[in-house]
Structure 1
Amino acid sequence: MNKRYFANLITLLSSSSTLICCALPALLVSIGAGATLSAAVTIFPKIVWVSENKELIFGFSGAMLFISGIVQYRSRNMACPIDQREACRSTRAASKWIYLLSLGLYLVGGFFAFIAPIIFS
């Protein structure tokens, strides 16, 4: 049970990095907050590295999503221990929502990283 939850949390973390590299800068510029983006790059200069290596970031995130999806799928019908049944069910439900949130973040980041530049250029 802990492996699935851990895999989903790592997936959420890696999917969030796709937002940092691509969706957040696009959002800030589109709402006219370019100065805020400039200040963020000044405070966190490694954000530029993440943006420059977005293919690597998306590849790693996609692999983590795939592994987490397999773990999620394989453990969906596993029996819960009798003494921890309620905790097991709530963890299973939380893992499912974390996975779906991760998938959504990945898709939003992917749109802003790869599709939006083609559409809006």
Structure 2
Amino acid sequence: MDNLWKQTVLPFLSLFTSVGTLLCCALPALLVTLGLGAALAGFVSTVPWITAVSEYKVLVFAIAGVLLTLSLFLQWRARHAPCPADPKMARVCMRMRKVSWVILGVTVVIYLVGFFFAFLAADIFF
């Protein structure tokens, strides 16, 4: 796989699928839990396709989980890959690695929050 794909594209795909899980499943549950049903009604009337996506939340979370796991595996495997010998390019390489780890960290947090509210919060709070 191309290095650009492994270090940038796959983490961003993971980020966007995790945001998708947050929007489709976690945000509505969070709004209802906090007693903001009117805000949820406004959200659903503004973005009506969100209810169709929510019907497939298991599939959405499974795809996001697979992409996230693949991203983490590829990032972990490339952690000791050599950077270019040129000092300027080496700095860019190291910066991109750090940015990639930050993106993956944010993605994992978003995914876990979405998973909690989509699958666990109803059993805990209600």
For the aligned pair, the TM-score class normalised by the smaller chain equals: over 0.9
Would you say how many aligned residue pairs link Structure 1 and Structure 2? 121
- Any unmatched runs of 5+ in structure 2? none
CA distance in structure 2 between the aligned counterparts of 1:106 and 1:24, rounded to whole angstroms: 12
- Name 2:113's counterpart in structure 1: 108
Matched, 1:96 2:98: no
- Name 2:79's counterpart in structure 1: 76
CA distance in structure 2 between the aligned counterparts of 1:56 and 1:93, rounded to whole angstroms: 30
Q: TM (normalized to structure 1)?
A: 0.93
How many percent identity over aligned positions?
Answer: 41
- Any unmatched runs of 5+ in structure 1? none
The one of 104, 111, 124 aligned to 1:119: 124
SS in 1 for 2:80: coil
Q: Give the deviation of 1:109 after TM superposition.
A: 0.5
SS in 2 for 1:22: helix
- Name 1:23's counterpart in structure 2: 26
Q: TM (normalized to structure 2)?
A: 0.90
Q: Give the deviation of 1:120 after TM superposition.
A: 2.1
CA distance in structure 1 between the aligned counterparts of 2:120 and 2:43, rounded to whole angstroms: 24
List, as ranges, runs of 4+ consecutive aligned residues in structure 1 with deviation greater than 6 Å: none
